[in-house]
Structure 1
Amino acid sequence: MTLYRQLLVTMLLLFAMLFITAYSVQFSSTRNYLAQQQQTTVINTVTSLGLALTPYLETSDTLGAESVINAVFDGGFYRRVRLDLLAADQQIIREHTSLPRRVPAWFVNLGLFEGAKYDAVLTSGWLQLGHLYVEGHPGQAYYELWQGMSRLATWFLACFLLVWGLLVLALRYLLKPLHDIEKQAREIELHHFGKAIPLPATRELREVVAAINNMAGKLELQFKEQADEAERLRQRAFLDEASGLGNRSYFVSQSQSWLGETGGGTVILISVDMLESLYQEEGFAVRDEMIRAVAGSLRQLCRRFGEHALARLSAYEFAMLVPETDGERLGILGEEINRSIADLVVDPVNGRDLSVVGMAVIQSGDNVSQLLTRADNALNKARMEHTGAVVVEHGRAEDGLGRLAWKQLVDEALAEDSFECSVQAVLDFDGKPYHEELFISIRKDGVVYHAGHFLPVVEQFKQGERLDLHIIGRALALLAERPQLKLAVNLTRQSCHQESFWTALTEMLEQYKEAGRRLALELPESAFASGKDILVSPLASLKVVWGIDHFGRHFDLLTQLGELRPHYVKLDHGYTSQVAEPGFDDAFLAAVCRAAHNMGAVTIATRVETEPQVRLLKTLHVDAYQGFISPPRQLP
């Protein structure tokens, strides 16, 4: 029971005891007064009636005596009046035994009044004339006691309810600082740090609130410092200081993560040959300024892609990893890259090639070394032939589909609901499932196309919102059918930035309230990198479990994790793929996990394939893992 309820119940009980005590005292006092009043009335009646009857008894006038008795009996509240005529050996009796009106029978049955009784012997000198007996009727006493105590109980009840209401208001006002402290403590427990609690007027509570505010401020600063430390470790390991882009280690790790997914893409190597001559002619300061300008230009070109990686591999070479496989569009992109770099040069010298571009499309079974070798060969070919851009395209069978064919494939799957669904469990290190991630694929003519194959086309033709709502609807239907199931659904970057998507999702969740509690939404990290402020409000209003997928691909997002407040983050495979290799530096990964824990997020490692990886990840503050160590299972 809360302190508020304990105080309220205690004070109400005390007031109830006070009211009951006062009521009991008043009840007893009124009852005794009415009993004494009745006794006095009966004695007075016997005395006065005896004086009135004596003259009639002396003359043996029975009728006169009876008339006097009738007058007295009818004019008062008596149960029984009896006159024994001793000389005539007769009795005159009058009785009234009916119950009092407007008084409940149960109240009368309490036996509060017995009825006052008094008798006297009527004499004339030494001669006894008769015996008079009078018994008062308790009906009037019952009536007066019932009326008086009913009014008093009504007033006491009204006062009790009034006191109850005043106590509720007073306690809520007085205990509001404690409620604020409780709320702040819960926020701190979840590693959420909001505004400071206003200082109350009560001295004791004022000191407690000041201590809570001070502690919250220190914890927030400490957690921010840990996030900053993790970001510094990542920059030290993966950031090229001159360009502000990732370095070779960053690009290799991102390429490994990319190759582990089912989707395709292209590695693009850009050699900015004019940087060498610029360094010889103008010095390293001018060269570094040009490097930053080239990096900014390439970063601008990459914004059109949802998922991408951009890095500086060597003094004059840059690398891009983009989800594009169409040869024609890659050729246009290569020309854009050369043109954007040429626009940075004020006065090109001797019409020489300022930059050359080589591209290699990802093939099935590629590793990073093979991919970079093919891209480097393409770059050398471009340099020798002075063509500016070369696309080396050795696509898989499904890559032969054109963009319109891919779009038609997705449209047919949406219209016919022909997506095949499978799930893969996310497990904690005790083997208990955290949730299961939903994967989709399309089967046509015996060929299975995984989501990674057609998602670039979905993003390109802005079909992400339609696809995501369709898959979420199917997931909610599955959750409604299977109460034990918990599903996580990936969202496309395009959907995340559409207000209409969040409106439609809210309406959908209203229809599946119970199932919606077991649904988790996974947003790509790139969605936050390109528009974090757009997502904070809808995610907070939905009140659903959500996480960040591919966490760690973009710089500077780690320090913003506290503002985003995700329930979990899935670490990018590039940071966990080498955890079991000799010489692996786990300082950054451990720092990322600590920072995520401090902000209240669960950390999940992805693409875990062996037991040694599981054992090592457990020591690095990772909470759960997912991968082919627990292979996907097909849903019917």
Structure 2
Amino acid sequence: MTLYRQLLVTMLLLFAILFITAYSVQFSSTRSYLAQQQETTVVNTVTSLGLALTPYLETSDTVGAESVINAVFDGGFYRKVELDLLAANEQIIREHLAAPRGVPDWFINLGLFHGAQHEAVLTSGWLQLGVLSVEGHPGQAYYQLWQGMSQLATWFVVCFLLVWGLLILALRYLLKPLHDIEIQAREIEQHHFGKPIAVPSTRELKEVVLAINNMAGKLEVQFKEQADEAERLRHRAFFDPTSGLGNRAYFVSQSQSWISDGTGGAVILIAVDMLEQLDEQEGFVARDQMIKAIATHLRKLCQRFGEYALSRLSAREFAMLVPESDVERLSLLGEEINRLIAELVIDPVNSRNISVVGMAVIQSEDDTSQLLTRADNALNKARMNEAGSIIIEHRQQEHQLGRMAWKQLIETALAEDLFELSSQAVFDFNGQLQHEELYIAIRTDEAIYSAGSFLPMVEQFKLGERLDLHIVERALKQLAIRPELQLAVNLTQYSCRQAGFWHQLDQLLALHSQVCARLFLELPESAFFWGKNALVAPLGSLKAAWGVDHFGRHFDVLTQLGDLRPHYVKLDHGFTSQVMEENYDDAFLAAVCRSAHSMGALTIATRVETEQQLEVLKGLYVDAYQGFVSPPHKLV
């Protein structure tokens, strides 16, 4: 029970005890007073009635005596008046046995009043004329006691309710600082820091609030420093300071991640040979300015793709990794790259040596070294041809489809539900199952197409919203069938940018509210890189838990996710796959994990393949893992 309720209940109980005590005392005193008043009235009545009857008894006027008794008895205050005429050996009796009006029977049955009784002998000199007995009727006493106590009880109840309301208002006002402290403590526990608590006027609470605010401020600075440290380590390991792009190590790690994920696309190498001439003729300052300008234009060019990697590999070479495998579109992209770079050069000395482009389309059997070797061979061929040549290394694969064929396949799969579902478990290092990540593939009579092969086309043709809603609905149905299941569903970047998608998702989750607690939604980190502010509201009202996929892939994102509070982050495979390499510097990965913990999020390593990797990851602040140590299995 909360302190607020304890104080409220305690004060109300004390008030109730006070009410009951005062009421009992008042009830007892009123009852004694009414009983004593009735007894006094009966004694006085006997005395006065005896004096009035004596003249009639002396003359044996029975009729006159009865008239006097009737006059007294008709007032209704007496239950019985009895006169024994000793001389005539007769009795005059008047009785009133009716129950009092306006008083409930249960109250009368309490037996609070028994009726006062008094008896006197009427005499004339030494002669005894009769015996007069009067018994008071308790009805009037019951009526007065009932009316008085009912009114008193009503006032007490009204006052009790009034005090109850005032106590609620007073305690809420007085205990508001404690409530703010409680909320702030919970936020600190989850590594979230809000605004400082307003300092109250109460001395004791003031000191506590100041201490909490001071501690929260220091922890916020500390966690921000951790995120900044992760960014510094990342920049040191993967950042090219001149261009502001990634370096060769970054590009290699991203290539490994793309190939492991089965994401199709192409590697594009861009050689800007005129940078060497610019350095010789105008100096390194002009060269560096040109490098920055080229990097800016290439970055803008890449923003049309949902996912990409962009790096500067050497003094004259840039590299792009894009989710595009169509040769015709890649050729147009290469021409656009050459044109943009040429436009940056003013009065070129030799227009043939400005830039050349070499490309290699990712094949299913590629590894990182093979892919980069093929791209480098294409670049060398382009150099030999000169004049902005574009060479594309590409081999037609089995089941390779054209762009429009891909679109038709995806739309058919959505219409006929040709998606095959499988899942892979996520465990913590104690062997406890956290959830299972949902994988999708399109199965036709001819072939099975993995998600990595068709998701780039989903983004290109803006079908992500339809796909995500379809897969989430199927996942919700699976959760309804299997109550032990917890599923994580990946969302596309296109969906994350659509306000209409979040509205439809809310409606869908409302229809399956009983299973929403077991659904996890994974957003790509790139969605936050391009539209974080648009995601604050929908994620804040989301009825399901959510996480960030490919965490750590993009620069400058680590420090931006703190106020969004993801439940978990899945580390990009490009960083976790290198932990078994010799001379691997694990400082960056550890810093990324600490940065995630500062947001209150679990860290999950992906693509874990061996037990040796698990042992290394345990010491790097990683909370859980998934990978081929626990292979995917088909969902029925």
TM, length-normalised to structure 2: 0.98
User: Which residues of 2 match residues 91-490 of structure 1 at below 5 A?
Assistant: 91-386=91-386, 388-399=389-400, 401-490=401-490
Aligned to 1:77: 77
Aligned to 2:507: 507
Q: Following TM superposition, by how much is the alpha carbon of 1:56 offset from its aligned partner in structure 2, in angstroms?
A: 2.0
Determine the C-alpha separation between the residues in 1 that align with 2:563 and 2:60: 112
Conserved? CA contact 2:509–2:543, under 8 Å: no
Determine the C-alpha separation between the residues in 1 that align with 2:262 and 2:446: 17
Q: Following TM superposition, by how much is the alpha carbon of 1:243 offset from its aligned partner in structure 2, in angstroms?
A: 1.2
What's the secondary structure of 2:563's corresponding residue?
helix
Determine the C-alpha separation between the residues in 1 that align with 2:42 and 2:210: 74
Determine the C-alpha separation between the residues in 2 that align with 1:628 and 1:429: 15
What's the secondary structure of 1:378's corresponding residue?
helix
Q: Following TM superposition, by how much is the alpha carbon of 1:60 offset from its aligned partner in structure 2, in angstroms?
A: 2.5
Determine the C-alpha separation between the residues in 2 that align with 1:582 and 1:115: 108
Determine the C-alpha separation between the residues in 2 that align with 1:398 and 1:251: 28
Determine the C-alpha separation between the residues in 2 that align with 1:350 and 1:576: 45
Conserved? CA contact 1:358–1:389, under 8 Å: yes
Determine the C-alpha separation between the residues in 2 that align with 1:395 and 1:264: 13
Determine the C-alpha separation between the residues in 2 that align with 1:288 and 1:124: 142
Greater shift, 570-579 or 559-568, is seen at 559-568
Determine the C-alpha separation between the residues in 2 that align with 1:75 and 1:280: 132
TM, length-normalised to structure 1: 0.98
Give the share of equivalent positions with the same residue, in percent: 74
Aligned to 2:56: 56
Conserved? CA contact 1:569–1:601, under 8 Å: yes
Greater shift, 49-58 or 324-333, is seen at 49-58
Q: Following TM superposition, by how much is the alpha carbon of 1:484 offset from its aligned partner in structure 2, in angstroms?
A: 1.9
**What's the RMSD between the two structures over aligned residues?**
1.3
Ranges of 4+ aligned residues in structure 1 off by more than 3 Å: none
Q: Write the deviation string for residues 454-474 of structure 1: whole angstroms up to 9, x where unpaired.
A: 111111111111111111122
Aligned amino acid, residue 271 of structure 2: S
What's the secondary structure of 1:607's corresponding residue?
coil
Greater shift, 597-606 or 345-354, is seen at 345-354
What's the secondary structure of 2:191's corresponding residue?
coil
Aligned amino acid, residue 361 of structure 1: V
Determine the C-alpha separation between the residues in 2 that align with 1:563 and 1:176: 24
Aligned amino acid, residue 418 of structure 1: L
Q: Following TM superposition, by how much is the alpha carbon of 1:200 offset from its aligned partner in structure 2, in angstroms?
A: 1.9
Aligned amino acid, residue 392 of structure 1: E
Greater shift, 515-524 or 599-608, is seen at 515-524
Aligned amino acid, residue 234 of structure 1: R
Q: Following TM superposition, by how much is the alpha carbon of 1:293 offset from its aligned partner in structure 2, in angstroms?
A: 1.5
Aligned to 1:612: 612
Q: Following TM superposition, by how much is the alpha carbon of 1:319 offset from its aligned partner in structure 2, in angstroms?
A: 1.1
Q: Write the deviation string for residues 595-621 of structure 1: whole angstroms up to 9, x where unpaired.
A: 111111111110111111112211111
Conserved? CA contact 1:362–1:395, under 8 Å: no
Conserved? CA contact 1:363–1:395, under 8 Å: no
Determine the C-alpha separation between the residues in 1 that align with 2:461 and 2:351: 38
Determine the C-alpha separation between the residues in 2 that align with 1:518 and 1:395: 42
Q: Write the deviation string for residues 496-550 of structure 1: whole angstroms up to 9, x where unpaired.
A: 1111111111111221112222211111111111121111111112243111111
Determine the C-alpha separation between the residues in 2 that align with 1:431 and 1:422: 21
Q: Following TM superposition, by how much is the alpha carbon of 1:193 offset from its aligned partner in structure 2, in angstroms?
A: 1.2
User: Which residues of 2 match residues 589-600 of structure 1 at below 5 A?
Assistant: 589-600=589-600
Long gaps (5+) in structure 2: none
Conserved? CA contact 1:82–1:132, under 8 Å: yes
Greater shift, 47-56 or 548-557, is seen at 47-56
1:573 aligns with 2:573: yes
Q: Write the deviation string for residues 195-248 of structure 1: whole angstroms up to 9, x where unpaired.
A: 112222222222222221111111111100111011101111111111111111
What's the secondary structure of 1:75's corresponding residue?
coil
Aligned to 2:553: 553
Aligned amino acid, residue 3 of structure 1: L
Aligned amino acid, residue 403 of structure 1: R
Aligned to 2:625: 625
Q: Following TM superposition, by how much is the alpha carbon of 1:67 offset from its aligned partner in structure 2, in angstroms?
A: 2.6
Matched residues, number: 635
What's the secondary structure of 2:318's corresponding residue?
strand
1:520 aligns with 2:525: no
Conserved? CA contact 1:520–1:546, under 8 Å: yes
What's the secondary structure of 1:264's corresponding residue?
coil
Determine the C-alpha separation between the residues in 1 that align with 2:4 and 2:429: 41
Aligned to 2:67: 67
Conserved? CA contact 2:223–2:595, under 8 Å: yes
Long gaps (5+) in structure 1: none
Conserved? CA contact 2:119–2:132, under 8 Å: yes
Q: Following TM superposition, by how much is the alpha carbon of 1:62 offset from its aligned partner in structure 2, in angstroms?
A: 2.6
